[in-house]
Amino acid sequence: MRLRLRSPRQLARTLLAAARREPEDVADYLESNLEEWEALAEAAPGDAADVLEQLEEDDAARLLSELLPGGAAEILEEIAPELAAEMIEQVPLGNLAAALNEMPDEAAADLIDELDEDIQEDVFAAMTDEAEQGVRDLLVYPSDTAGGLMTTEIAVLPLGLTTGEAIERIRQLHEEYEDLSYVYIVNDDNRLQGVLSFRDLVFKRPGSPLADVMVADPIAVTAHTHRKEVAELCQRYHLFGIPVTDGDGVLLGMVTTDGVIEAVQDEATEDFAAAVGAGLEETVYSDITESFRMRAPWLVLNLFLALLVAFVIERQTGLISREPVLAVLMPVIALLGGNGGNQSLAVMIRSLATDDVPRAQIPRILARQTGVGVLNGLLLAVVSAGMTYLLVATGVFHTETEPARLAVVVAIAVMANLVIATVAGAAIPLVLRRLGQDPALASSIFVTLISDVVGFGGFLLVAGLLL
């Protein structure tokens, strides 16, 4: 494998494309051309991370070990913690600890949190005391709270400074801290007093006291505030970050824009997982037994609910024996209702996640969803009835029943199931919220149950009355 490229970014694009086809060849090339690998890691750590993600874990670990601690740290920051944890298990402990010492505390904490406890202690023992303490201080907070998202590397100034003195102090801090979008002002007890954006600070008169130009009593959260509320506050007040304090108002850190984006993404994926009964914190890299523990209860519940549907069908076996074509049409009715219900469910969970469902609006929202169900039901009732009529009339479906009569049965069943399932998809998350539960919690399982019971049982009931 030979590459002659002018820039590291060109090299990254070529390597990434090649790694997706022949990862072993790319690993061999980089190990044979370490100067190019080091240049790529220094110039474009994000691109280098993309290349490593395509390689086998042992190859990725060897390439990480060849880098200086700072370069390895920048690459590890760009890789999802779950995947990075798989890679670093094969990195020599000394190299790993040196890289973690160079990482921001919050990034190192996310990565170490994914390791087994025995490995964590080995890593902590190899890290510097300062880096270890910074990480341990963050690991006490759950990952879905402001404390689990915050960075402690923030610009903090004492209350007694003037704006000119503050600007000079920030000049000294800018190499130490990456995010200087906000400057936080504290008193002698380190309690948060105010905030000032860096832009506003620059344009204030140099001799003005910070106490006169800062925004006093700023929007803040505690370390245990849930990430969803953090994201909502940043969105509502158009903030690029939000300070984090303890119960006494002492400034602990800041959730940056990156942290807010991470919170929004995690909430969205968690709601999706919850809706189908998967583990809230499960990923494709989760331990097998942990994934089993999180999924199994909902699958068992699903089994019992499926048996309820089977019981409904069993009550009508005589009718099905007389009209075997009903067995062919039953899944169609249930499928249409399930799809309609899950569409409504997705819209409702999305609106609840962004706090767009005030209690006063619930009746109107349910009325709208009912209207959607009716319109979809009418459309699909006509289409399904017409197709049923044609299939029976042309002999594709064999039955002694008149095509028109069977078409009417299908139309009524489709109409009823779509309306009921659509309303259920909107109502179930609201009921769960009213009970104090996560609105997304296995909602899809319950919507499927309702659409199947109505789809199978309702269809057979209508057929029994009209055929």
Does residue 323 come out as left (phi exceeding 0), alpha (psi in the -120 to 50 range) or beta? beta
Reported confidence tier of residue 269, pLDDT bands at 50, 70, 90: low
As to burial, measured by CB atoms within 10 angstroms (0-12 exposed, 13-18 middle, 19+ buried), residue 180 is middle
Q: Per residue in 227-258, pLDDT tens? A: 888 988 888 888 888 999 998 999 999 998 88
Reported confidence tier of residue 278, pLDDT bands at 50, 70, 90: low
Host H or E run for residue 157: strand 155-158
Reported confidence tier of residue 371, pLDDT bands at 50, 70, 90: very high
How many angstroms separate the CA atoms of 194 and 213, rounded? Answer: 9
How many angstroms separate the CA atoms of 375 and 427, rounded? Answer: 18
- Whole-angstrom Cα Rg for the chain: 30
pLDDT of res. 354: 66
- Helix and strand counts by DSSP (H, E) for the chain: 24, 7
What are 219's two structure tokens?
């929007």
| Cβ atoms < 10 Å from Cβ of 215 | 14
In this structure, are residues 200 and 217 in contact, taking their beta carbons and an 8 Å threshold?
no
Q: pTM for this structure?
A: 0.68
Domains in the chain, start-ordered, CATH in brackets? Answer: 8-140 (1.25.60.10), 155-272 (3.10.580.10), 288-466 (1.10.357.20)
Mean pLDDT lowest among 120-129, 180-189, 212-221, 286-295: 286-295
Reported confidence tier of residue 452, pLDDT bands at 50, 70, 90: confident
Collapsed DSSP state (helix, strand, coil) of residue 251: strand
Percent of residues, the chain, with pLDDT higher than 70: 91
Q: Per residue in 90-102, pLDDT tens? A: 899 999 999 999 9
What is the average per-residue pLDDT within 211-219? 90
